[in-house]
Amino acid sequence: MGRVILLLLATALGAFIVAGGRTGPSSLVAQEAPQVVTPFPITSPAGWPRGAIEHYDVDGLFEKINGKADAYIVFDVIDLTFAGYANPQDPSVYVDVYIYDMAEPLNAYGIYRVQRSGQEEAVDAGAEACRAGSAFFGRKGSHYVEVVGSAGSATTEARAVLGAVLDALPAAKEPVRDPAWFPDEGRTRILYARTNALGVESLGDAFLARYADGVRAAVARFASAEEAEAARAEAVETYEFLGTPAHFEAADKLVVGALGSKDPERLKALVAAILAKIKEGL
């Protein structure tokens, strides 16, 4: 009996010592450096150090970009991160970087197209990028990026930063491309609207095209044919009430419309052409 107890005590001691060999409270060891998930490089390609990273959520967006914020909110912006790089020799030479997380690639496409006129010099970076003076704009995945160099002095650096930032951002699984629905002739821009396409509230999730003669066309997408038909009826009613020439047709889950010309035939022909291209695509 006594021996059994002594053996038990020895076992307890062994268990205690074995337990002591295991890892203990993690606060005693140095934590690993967290992987910094930021697309901002620590220094710019020319070695200019990065300033503090600023972070703005939807509510704080006005603080940073004032009235421009509304345009982003329409496209469901989640947040903006900002960081600046300055030339250590001359702080008046700088590059500022704005990265907008737009939640979805379509939103990034939409805000990019609204912000850019389409006349800018194209730049090969990300899904799409362009340049206006010493400012660069680009989109990739669900992000929209603006890189603003100090006027005249930081163009090269701004271009390099844009490339670095867009490279670091994740690409979309299915990149957004311009649809092939709109006839090319006289077309100036293709845009995207979450709602309110062609001034009709119910026309949502729509690609838009603008033509040199002022005509605007839209292809709005719906969850069902019934919804599409209802939206078409509302659009027709709206423009009949306004007395403005416009033409809308529904086709399955789509509504195709055009306006902006006094000639109803021009509008009808454009809608027919778009419908034909859509059918062709299918």
Does position 152 interact with another protein (CB under 8 A)? The reply is no
DSSP-derived pairing of the beta strands 54-57 and 79-87: antiparallel
- The string over 197-222, giving b where at least 16 C-beta atoms fall within 10 Å of a residue's C-beta and e elsewhere, is bbebebbbebbbbbbeeebbbbbbeb
Question: Could you say which residues in the range 55-114 bind another protein, by CB under 8 A?
Answer: 88
Q: State the minimum distance, in angstroms, from the CB of residue 184 to another protein.
A: 47
Q: Of 47-55, 68-76, 145-153, 209-217, which part binds another protein (CB under 8 A)?
A: 47-55
With binding defined as CB under 8 A, does residue 282 bind another protein? no
Encode burial over 118-148: b for 16+ CB neighbours within 10 A, e otherwise: eeeeebebbbbbbbeebbbbbbbbbbbbbbb
CB-based burial of residue 1 (10 Å sphere; 0-12 exposed, 13-18 middle, 19+ buried)? exposed
Does 46 interact with another protein (rule: CB under 8 A)?
no
Strand order, beta sheet including 187-193: 187-193, 206-211, 216-221, 254-259, 246-251
Pick 37 or 223: Cβ nearer another protein:
37
Q: Interacting stretch for another protein, rule CB under 8 A, among 24-32, 117-125, 126-134, 156-164? A: 24-32
Is 138 within 8 Å of 145 (Cβ atoms)?
A: yes
Q: Does 241 bind another protein (CB under 8 A)?
A: no
- Which is nearer to another protein, 12 or 151 (by Cβ)? 12
**Binding window for another protein (CB under 8 A); candidates: 28-36, 96-104, 161-169, 170-178:** 28-36
Q: How far apart are CA 88 and CA 107, in angstroms?
A: 36
Q: Which CB, 5 or 212, lies closer to another protein?
A: 5
Q: Give the residue carrying structure tokens 């009949």.
A: 240
Taking the complex as a whole, how short is the minimal distance between the CB of residue 56 and another protein, in angstroms? 15
Q: Which of 11, 43, 196, 244 binds another protein (CB under 8 A)?
A: 43
Query: ∠40-42-43 over CA atoms, to 5°?
Result: 105
- CB 261 → another protein: shortest distance, Å? 54
CA 18/CA 13 separation, integer angstroms: 9
Eight-class DSSP state of 151? T
Span interacting with another protein, options 37-45, 69-77, 171-179, 188-196, rule CB under 8 A: 37-45
Question: What residues between 2 and 21 interact with another protein by CB under 8 A?
Answer: 2-3, 5-6, 9, 12-13, 16, 19-21
Q: How far is the CB of 6 from another protein (least distance, A)?
A: 6
Q: How far is the CB of 98 from another protein (least distance, A)?
A: 17
- Binders of another protein among 210-229, rule CB under 8 A? none
b/e per residue 9-46 (b: at least 16 CB within 10 A): eeeeeeeeeeeeeeeeeeeeeeeeeeeeeebbbeebee
Residue numbers of the site for another protein (CB under 8 A)? 1-3, 5-6, 9, 12-13, 16, 19-34, 36, 38, 42-43, 49-50, 52-53, 88
